[in-house]
Amino acid sequence: MHLTQGQFSFLPDLTDAEIKKQIEYALAQDWAVAIEFTDDPHPRNTYWSMWGTPMFDLKDPAGILMEVKACRAAQGDKYVKVLAFDSHRGFESLRMSFLVNRPKNEPGFELLRSEGPGRKVQYALRSYATGKPAGSRYG
């Protein structure tokens, strides 16, 4: 199952040249770009691991793309996303977030039903991948 999340989720995966252009846009807006990765694809998982600190000091997309590639090389079988944080007053939050890497096999999600009192059914989504311990979830 092809996981879609964040910006451009209805498009095919971005190429490096396209990623570079997006980063260029973020930098032009004076946003700080960061890279994060995770092996838990649940949409409500907001606790991704940071790949280094946000790159407040970089002014050119080439340097950030180098980090994206380094993160992919080290965390190739995980989801990697690029974020852009807007520190301007009034926003002070993320303005961009898109996936730049995904594992080869994405097992998808299981729908869990639990029946409560009065035949009330509660639904939950669970990734098949998270059934296995961290570190051995993909491949």
Partner 1 sequence: MTALAAVADERVDLQALYAESSIGETLDQLDRELVGLVPVKTRIREIAALLLVERARRSVGLEAEPPPLHMSFTGNPGTGKTTVARRMAEILHRLGYIRRNHVVSVTRDDLVGQYIGHTAPKTKDVLKKAMGGVLFIDEAYYLYRPENERDYGQEAIEILLQVMEDNRDDLVVILAGYKDRMDTFFKSNPGMASRIAHHIDFPDYAADELFRIAELMVATMNYRFDAEAMMALRDYIVRRMEQPRFANARSIRNALDRARLRQANRLFAERGQLLDRTALQTITAADIRASRVFSP
Return the number of the residue (59 or 113) whose C-beta is nearest partner 1. 59
Least Å from the CB of residue 49 to partner 1? 18
The DSSP element (H or E) to which 71 belongs, if any, is: helix 61-74
Only one residue has tokens 């570190």, namely 135
Residues that bind partner 1 (CB under 8 A): 55, 57-64, 66-67
Least Å from the CB of residue 83 to partner 1? 17
Return the number of the residue (30 or 60) whose C-beta is nearest partner 1. 60
Structural tokens at position 53: 């600190």
Structural tokens at position 45: 């998982």
Cβ atoms of residues 94 and 36 within 8 Å: no
Least Å from the CB of residue 130 to partner 1? 32
Least Å from the CB of residue 85 to partner 1? 18
Cβ atoms of residues 51 and 96 within 8 Å: no
DSSP classification of residue 109: E
Return the number of the residue (62 or 124) whose C-beta is nearest partner 1. 62
Residue 131 DSSP SS3: helix
Return the number of the residue (67 or 106) whose C-beta is nearest partner 1. 67
